[in-house]
Structure 1
Amino acid sequence: MNGNTDNHLPDNDAPDESAGVTQRMSKTQIFTLMSTASVNFSSMICYSILGPFFPNEAVKKGASETIVGLIFGCYAFFNLLGSLILGKYIVQIGTKFMLIAGLFVSAWCTIIFGLLDRVPDGTVFILMCFITRSIDAIGFAGAMTSSFVTIAKVFPNNIATVFGCLEIFTGLGFVLGPPIGGFLYQSYGYEIPFISLGCVLLLMVPFNICVLPSHDATPSKDSFWRLFTLPKIVLICFVIFAMSSSLGFLDPTMTLFIKEKFNMPAHYVGLIFVSLALSYSLSSPLLGVVSDKMPTLRKWLMVIGGMLSAVGFCLLGPVPIFNIKSQLWLFVLMLVLIGFALGMTGISTFPEILTCVIENGFEEGLSTLGLVSGMFGAVWSCGMFFGPMLGGFLVEKINFEWSSAIQGSIVLIASSLLGIYFIIEGRWKKRSPPTSTTGSDEETSPLLPNEI
């Protein structure tokens, strides 16, 4: 926010632009952080409880490993569709209504999913899993798209920093979901983990009704197709896709591998999930500050993060050509590396995309934020759809060690292509004479003014 004023924010709520991350936030900013933090935490904990026990339960109910991968993947596919559609029409729907409605839908779907152990085995169970997860994904897409837009609107100068701080709550949801889900499953059976956490998610609805600010705007004429005409955007999206597919790859495969290789019960498998989520959530705030304070370094964080993630996946099994024995400590260490690498890449991508679209003439406003948020969510979901499907198929046909290496190679290709583009872009800018003398002022100005 700069010296201008918003229709909803008085002058004394606007942060001092020269201060960077302000020492004293406005009431609107505090409420926004509380709201989006609750969305990140509650949504992620409901999503992550499936990992430790659902694959085994689904196999008992007649689903193959490939079908389990598709059940995980369908969530991402409908999240993709929901992100594109809701991101396009967020101005017409309203950010606050979209977030609250998304939470409400996701909460009830989580509860219903906990009752599916009562349906007949085989086709009926599999079909109900697909339907419930698909509707849940659309609700989740609405909540997260609105959350992204709200943060970028209220904190235009410090997007990466705020995203990084909020990822503590995302990581906390991932951290607590698997062990809580594993413990409740081990103690009370299949139903209780979903019903109890679904009720927690329902409690977030009235909370967000009270604290979430509303924002009005007019629709723009820009479209998703115009975003994908920019080569830089396409390559960044490829990196987002590769990173999200690597996370999705672990959903249906890691639990079965750990149980088979290390002979661990479900509640201990949940603790293994913690290493990745904890590494990601603890590193994200620092990486967000670095991304905002040194924007020229942001692009290389994406590239290096992708390459580190590729190394982690190659050593996760590890791949047989290294002749390294699979050990639990090495597995956990690689998950920590992957979590850190995900933070390096993921925190930098959203503000880098925003910078790129504004530089290429997109209108500065809520509508553009909706397009970018929708595109980000759609590409992320596309990877989350592809990853479980690829993982379930490859592990069934070959083994986890080689499948993990194949997934790592996708991340390596994406980050390498982006790195090559940045090198070529840097050389081209050095050869091109400056077109104006106001470039430095434009680089330090906020991406989005208050008047949206």
Structure 2
Amino acid sequence: MATVMTGYRDVDEASNYPGSSYARALSVRSPSLHEPLEETPPPKGYSRKEMFVLVVCSCSSMFMHMGLSTIPLVLPIEITRKGVPYEFCGAIFSVFAISIVILEPFQAKILPWIGTRNSFVYSALLGGVCYVSFAMIDFANTVPGFATPAIIIRFVEGFYYAVLITASNVIVCLTFPDRASFAFGVLEGFVGAGFTLGPALGGVLFKFCGFVAPFLLIGACLLVTAGLGYCALEQITGLNLAARKKEKKRLIRDTAFIGCSLLTMAAGIVWGTFETALEPYLATYEKGPLVEGLVFAIAYLAYGAMAPLWGFIFRKVEMDYRWILVGPLVVALCWMVLGPIPPLSFIGKRLWLDTVCLFVLNTAIAYIFVFSFDTMLKRAIFCGMEGDVATYALVVAGFFSSIYIGEAIGPIIGGYLTANKSFQAVATVAVFIQFAAFALGAIIMLIAWNKIIRRLRRKLHQKFPRWVSPPEDPSVARESGETSPLHSSIADEEEEYMNIFQPPTPSRKTGAIRYLPPKSYGSIC
């Protein structure tokens, strides 16, 4: 039996609709703040269907990122062999991220309209076709014949990726609403597994079978995943679901949400830079594609191993969201040694040291990504939004939009500096970006802007009473429900947080968040 928390949505397991794999996403009790909590034993394990859903979504994450990590390893080599100007490499990588940035903001509307299963299946099919088509460009022998189809395919590939990654994350959030950060960490672990297997397997296939083989394999895997998704997933739609404008406005203005988006974008720039700058740098060691693929694999193994661990930690330990600021500092320090930047040039180039730096750097990026997603999801609920398919789609769309805005910028920086400067210049720019992201994030997250704005409005109202309205009393605003706790002072925020959060108990290892009475959590077709 699940924990019953009257007036709160159960953050452990609760099922008002037995037999549905998304039942816990539909569990809400009628509000009451004064009734006692019923203590019951915690739930045991996961059902077979839930595990199957997690396996299918994990496979999709792994296969799509095998493709993403294989391309940065083999495409620069193929472009150089065919005599294509290296600036086209940056364009091929950037157009993929640009298409994601174009489509991702609309996912909050597209996914509830098309439905979770249809979005998953159709996007996986499109991805398989894209990779098979990308393998065929090897037969082009002219610059326009190679570059033009590559750019078009990568642009379309961005559409498939945006829908599939959003659908996978929304599905696991609906399946494990009480363990959303942990489930996201598991998916990100398979993202890391894909990044690890992609260069290792892709490097071997490229060396012995040529350019075509790795992409045919990945395309076939995605086509198989589409079939598994059709058989394993339930169709959930939410045409009648939409967050109220007031809640959306609160979320968009929330300093924690803005800060996490900024730091996520900065981490995305790092990955985008790697796509065009890392392989040429490793090639200077003259160790061949097998060793380069191994270095890529070790680096991304850190992300794959640490993402689930960070998700588990963030589920068990309540951490202030401001601790995310540690992430860009670690990334900047790794770049300083990886270059190394000119002031540290006495360190010299050492392959083992570069490998260690890449491992630590990707551990820090896993920390940023998982912590950001966990914080952004909690903030959405904290702003009064409901835990339904529309809310999850909105948060996932915002999260991945931030990443791929960075990934659209990164390849341009890496491609230009690699072609015209050196890897030291790439590292110097990357360090500057990370320190700038840390500074802006600290300004956004650590300053009580709402207090400052209230004081400023009070002074302006005294001088210009006709032109500036007086600031609203925060205590009166809270009683009327017209303010967000996320824009109050830290003390006000903690007071409001305790009104909606129940701490863990011996039989309930996680707390519970109160929800507003929902309209609907979506329909299962």
The alignment's TM-score, normalised by the length of structure 1, stands at 0.91
Distance 2:514 2:51 in 1: 21
Aligned to 2:262: 238
Q: SS of the residue aligned with 1:25?
A: coil
Structure 2 equivalent of residue 29 of structure 1: 50
Letter in structure 2 aligned against 1:438:
N
Within the candidate set 92, 100, 112, 2:133 is matched to: 112
Q: Which residue in 2 is equivalent to 1:419?
A: 442
**Percentage of matched positions with identical amino acids:** 22
Does residue 253 of the first structure (1) align with residue 277 of the second (2)?
yes
Q: Counterpart in 2 of 1:428?
A: 489
- Deviation at 1:126? 0.8
Alignment of 1:195-234 (within 5 A): 195-217=216-238, 218-222=240-244, 226=249, 227-234=251-258
Q: For residues 43 and 29 of structure 1, what CA distance do their matches in structure 2 show? A: 21
**1:243, 1:306 within 8 Å by CA — same for their partners in 2?**
yes
The question of whether the paired residues in 1 share the 8 Å contact of 2:24 and 2:177 is answered with no
8 Å CA contact retained: 2:105, 2:397: yes
CA contact (8 A) 1:20 1:158 kept: no
Q: In 1, Cα distance between the equivalents of 2:405 and 2:384?
A: 27
The answer (yes or no) to whether the contact 2:14–2:23 under 8 Å persists in 1 is: no
* Further displaced range: 60-69 or 427-436: 427-436
Which segment is superposed worse, 175-184 or 161-170? Answer: 161-170
> Does the CA-based 8 Å contact 1:246-1:408 persist in structure 2?
no
Task: Give the aligned partner of residue 3 of structure 2.
Answer: none
User: Equivalent residues in 2 for 1:42-441 (5 A)?
Assistant: 42-217=63-238, 218-222=240-244, 226=249, 227-260=251-284, 262-300=285-323, 302-322=324-344, 323-425=346-448, 428-430=489-491, 434=495, 438-441=499-502
SS at the partner of 1:64? coil
Q: Contact (CA 8 Å) 1:104, 1:202: kept in 2 or not?
A: yes
Name the SS for the 2:326 alignment partner: helix
The number of equivalent residue pairs is 450
CA contact (8 A) 2:502 2:513 kept: no
CA distance 1:393–1:26, change in 2 (3 Å): same
Largest Rg, 1 or 2:
2
Q: Which residue of 1 aligns with 2:481?
A: none
1:246 partner letter: V
Structure with the higher fraction of residues in helix conformation = 1
Native 8 Å contact 1:100 1:205 kept in 2: yes
Checking the alignment, whether the CA contact within 8 Å between 1:32 and 1:213 is kept in structure 2 is: no
Equivalent residue of 1:434, what SS? helix
**Letter of the 1:310 counterpart:** A
Cα distance in 1 for partners of 2:515, 2:428 equals 41
Q: What is the rounded CA distance, in whole Å, between the counterparts of 2:387 and 2:372 in structure 1? A: 18
Q: Secondary structure at the match of 2:253?
A: coil
Query: Is the Cα contact below 8 Å between 1:314 and 1:408 reproduced in 2?
Result: yes
Residue 18 to residue 67, structure 1, CA distance change in 2 (3 Å): farther
Q: Cα distance, 1:432 vs. partner?
A: 7.3
Q: CA deviation at 1:216?
A: 3.0
| 1:240–1:379 CA contact under 8 A, matched in 2 | yes
SS in 1 for 2:348: coil
Q: Contact 2:90 / 2:415 at 8 angstroms: preserved in 1?
A: yes
Task: Please report how far the alpha carbon of residue 159 of structure 1 lies from its aligned counterpart in structure 2 after TM superposition.
Answer: 1.4
CA contact (8 A) 2:199 2:296 kept: yes
Note closer, same or farther for the CA distance 1:414–1:12 as it changes in structure 2 (3 Å cut). closer
Any idea what SS the aligned residue of 2:357 has? helix
Please state how far the C-alpha of 1:231 moved relative to its aligned partner: 3.1
1:267/1:146 CA distance change after superposition, 3 Å: same
Deviation at 1:21, TM superposition (A): 8.9
Q: Does structure 2 retain, via aligned residues, the 8 Å contact 1:354–1:447?
A: no
- Unpaired runs of 5+ residues, structure 2, are 1-8, 28-37, 449-485, 504-509
SS of the aligned residue for 1:313 comes to helix
Give the partner amino acid of 1:312.
C
1:288 maps to amino acid: G
Deviates more, 1:199-208 or 1:25-34: 25-34
For 2:216, the aligned partner's letter is: I
**When the two structures are superposed, what TM-score results if normalisation uses the length of structure 2?**
0.79
Relative distance call for 1:434 and 1:274 in structure 2 (3 A) is: same
**Matched-pair contact (CA < 8 Å) for 1:53–1:185:** yes
1:23 and 1:216 mapped to 2: Cα distance?
29
The structural deviation recorded for 1:400 is 0.6
The structural deviation recorded for 1:81 is 1.7
Deviates more, 1:191-200 or 1:210-219: 210-219
Please say which of residues 164-173 and 224-233 is displaced more in the overlay.
Answer: 224-233
CA shift at 1:164, angstroms?
Answer: 1.6
**Deviation for aligned residue 1:315:** 1.2
**1:447 and 1:303, CA in 2 relative to 1: closer, same or farther beyond 3 A?**
farther
1:445 aligns with 2:512: yes
Q: Secondary structure at the match of 1:89?
A: helix
Render the CA deviation track for 1:397-444: whole Å, top value 9, x for unaligned. 321112122113212222333234433359931377835963443993
Once the two structures are TM-superposed, the CA of residue 103 in structure 1 deviates from its matched residue by 0.6
Contact kept, 8 Å, 1:246 with 1:407, in 2: the verdict is: yes
After superposition, what is the alpha-carbon deviation per residue over 1:115-145, rounded to whole angstroms, capped at 9, x for unaligned? Answer: 1011241123111101011111101111101
Q: Displacement of 1:350 after TM fit?
A: 1.1
Once the two structures are superposed, residues 337-375 of structure 1 have per-residue CA deviations (whole angstroms, 9 ceiling, x without a partner) of: 111101111111112111112222334421121111112
The farther-off stretch of 197-206 and 95-104 is 197-206
Q: Describe the SS at the equivalent of 1:289.
A: helix
